[in-house]
Structure 1
Amino acid sequence: MPSLAQMTGSLHIHNFYIGKLKAKQEQLFESDPETVMLLDNVVAILSEHAIALAENSPDKEFAEG
């Protein structure tokens, strides 16, 4: 099992890329709807993984944050 520091770092990386993808979706919304849908799917997968990381954390505050 990864350490709490590794899990926290991984969650921060997930959230960073989720934010980047959402910003790119907004930029492409009008011009490239197919790419927006693809990015939406990637965001959903990363979000699910981030939730799983938080739920599996031994630190209750980490899981709630």
Structure 2
Amino acid sequence: MPSLAQMSGSLHIHQFYIDKLKANQERLLGSDPELAQLLDNVAAVLSEHAVALAEDIAEMESSEED
């Protein structure tokens, strides 16, 4: 199982790419709506994974406090 530091780093990377995808999606919305929709879908999948990862991190942090 990955360490808490590795999971936190992964969450940070997820958030970085989610932000980049959303910025590019907004930029492409007028010129290429299909690509913009694809980027939005990818960002949504990464966001779901980031939420699950954040929950796992919270669980690990609470178990370390016990």
- Alignment TM-score, normalising by the size of structure 2: 0.86
Paired residues, number: 60
Unaligned runs of 5+ in 2: none
State, as a whole percentage, how many aligned pairs show the same letter: 70
* C-alpha deviation, 1:56, in angstroms: 1.0
- When you count helix as a share of all residues, which structure comes out higher? 2
Structure 2 counterpart of 1:43: 43
> Corresponding residue for 1:56?
56
The 1-side partners of 2:54 and 2:17 are apart by: 16
Distance 1:46 1:6 in 2: 17
How is 1:1-20 mapped onto 2 (pairs within 5 angstroms)?
1-20=1-20
Q: Which has the larger radius of gyration?
A: 2
1:59 deviates by: 1.7
TM-score normalised according to structure 1 size: 0.87
